[in-house]
Amino acid sequence: MPKPEDTAEAPRAGRCAIVGRPNVGTSTLLNALLGQKLVIATPKPGTTRSCVLGVYASSDPPTQVAFVDTPGLERPKGALGRVLIDSARQGLVGCDVAVFVTEAPKASAPPQVNERDATVLQTLDAANMPVILAINKVDRLKEKGKLFGFIEAYQKRRAFDGVVPISATRGTNLDALLGEIRRRLPEGLLYDADFLTDRPERFFVSELIREAAMLNTRQEVPYGIACELDSYREENDVLRIEGTLIVEKQSHKAIVIGTRGETIKKLSTEARMQIEAFLGRKVYLRLFVKVVPGWTRDPIKARQLAIKEGQA
């Protein structure tokens, strides 16, 4: 009879990229897998601008998955779009497996590969690694039978190493997805037990401010918002933060500030509450707004601001 240690599963660890076109739920999926909010998520395109690493850990069986959330992959629009595509492709480097996230088909949609998904798949074809298809938002699909034709169409485009229908918002089938990922990771462990991310605290603070700004603005304004932290210091048990929201036009600045400053007051309050919840400490937050004309279309400015946001 085998001893208990002989039947135990070997520890496994590795890197897993989460990729997809914009707004299919890659960031929501990462937060759901980690069981906490690590990365920002909004319904607005261009929310994710930097690759963010978040480590999932389990002792039964011993597993560490370093998930890499990547910017949405699509045909680049302007200088900022090209920066985001470069960032997403860089996020695939060194990964052992990728989860390709798409969304369940709408009732009227034919069973075929979405054109924007085809762009993502071209990048994955060149990455040379196992790819798992995760079909998100299945909770919205009333006719579950439509999934069969949908999956068949995607399998014809690429022979996926696994297929898992999921709902990131409801947590549906996430254990099954983790199982598919684990089977494709090398043996051994990589991180300390309490390691969560390689990003500094200031990065997440900057992101939470940008998230609040994006959620409180509309149309083209959210895409052109960047955030820089100007001051970040502890004073009398309060973390005092001053930051600048960068926009492309004077008219966008007026929108972010709002009538009698109502919009910036609202988003500042929302951001402060999110930061306090994230850090578990009292925060004072003061925000300013600055215009950098056409920065999303300027290759140098777009890359400089993207780097600053990534480093915070």
Q: What is the pLDDT of residues 50-94, one digit of tens each?
A: 999 999 999 999 999 999 999 999 988 899 999 999 999 999 999
Give CA torsion, residues 161, 162, 167, 169, to 10 deg: -50
For residue 243, what pLDDT band results from cuts at 50, 70 and 90?
Answer: very high
Does the pTM exceed 0.85?
yes
For residue 1, what pLDDT band results from cuts at 50, 70 and 90?
Answer: very low
What is d(CA 14, CA 28) in angstroms, rounded to the nearest whole number? Answer: 21
Question: For the residues 210-220, what does the mean pLDDT come to?
Answer: 96
Class of 201-311 in CATH: alpha beta
Beta carbons of 46 and 22 less than 8 angstroms apart:
yes
Structure-model confidence comparison of residues 304 and 275, the more confident one? 275
Please choose, from the candidates 224, 235, 251, 215, the residue with its C-alpha nearest in 3D space to the C-alpha of residue 286.
235
pLDDT at residue 305, rounded to an integer: 87
Examine the pLDDT at 175 and tell me if it is beyond 90. Answer: yes
Q: Which CATH superfamily is domain 4-182 in?
A: P-loop containing nucleotide triphosphate hydrolases (3.40.50.300)
Place of tokens 């069969």: 148
What is d(CA 50, CA 46) in angstroms, rounded to the nearest whole number? Answer: 10
pLDDT at residue 4, rounded to an integer: 45
Examine the pLDDT at 32 and tell me if it is beyond 70. Answer: yes
Question: For the residues 105-111, what does the mean pLDDT come to?
Answer: 81
Gyration radius from the chain CA atoms:
21
Sheet architecture: strand order including 12-19: 52-59, 62-69, 12-19, 97-103, 131-136, 162-165
Where along the chain do its domains lie? Answer: 4-182, 201-311
